[in-house]
Amino acid sequence: MSFQVLTTERVEINGVDISSSCTSAGIEVKANELDSTTFGAGWETKLGGLKSFGLKFEANTDYAAGQLDAMLWPLLGTVVTVKVRPTSAAISTSNPEYQGSVLVSGLTPISGKVGDLATTSGTWPGSGALVRATS
């Protein structure tokens, strides 16, 4: 078994690689839990329902023209593509890329306390299917 330390994770939003700004990023995938329990079963039974995913990220931000803040701000309220993989190396069976579209439903364009780096973050729900690419 081989474990991996995330040091070169690749995060792409709307075709722009923001990896060099990101301090954390993740994709969460889930299936709705449907109760299929019937009388006399004695135990609950469950079925998987609709699937969903979301992107969550945090990044050090730059407010200069053409930088992260200027790229993210106009995306609010739109659906954009995202691609995330464990490393910046080529997509492979050991470096899968998760690809999908998300709704930029909210953005924290500035966060921090006195003396901190200025950061930005987002938690965006998926819109449609998430694909796991290995080639």
Residue 64 forms part of a structural domain: yes
**How many Cα atoms sit within 13 Å of 42 on the Cβ side?**
0
Distance, CA of 65 to chain centre: 25
Grouped pLDDT means (10 residues each) for the chain, 135 residues: 89 97 97 95 94 98 95 98 97 97 97 95 98 97
Q: Cα–Cα distance between 13 and 6 in angstroms, integer?
A: 19
Residue 15 forms part of a structural domain: yes
Number of domains in the chain: 1
Residue 38 forms part of a structural domain: no
Residue 41 forms part of a structural domain: no
Residue 2 forms part of a structural domain: no
Residue 100 forms part of a structural domain: yes
Q: What is the pLDDT of residue 2?
A: 81
Domain extent, residue 80, equals 10-32+50-133
Residue 112 forms part of a structural domain: yes
Residue 42 forms part of a structural domain: no
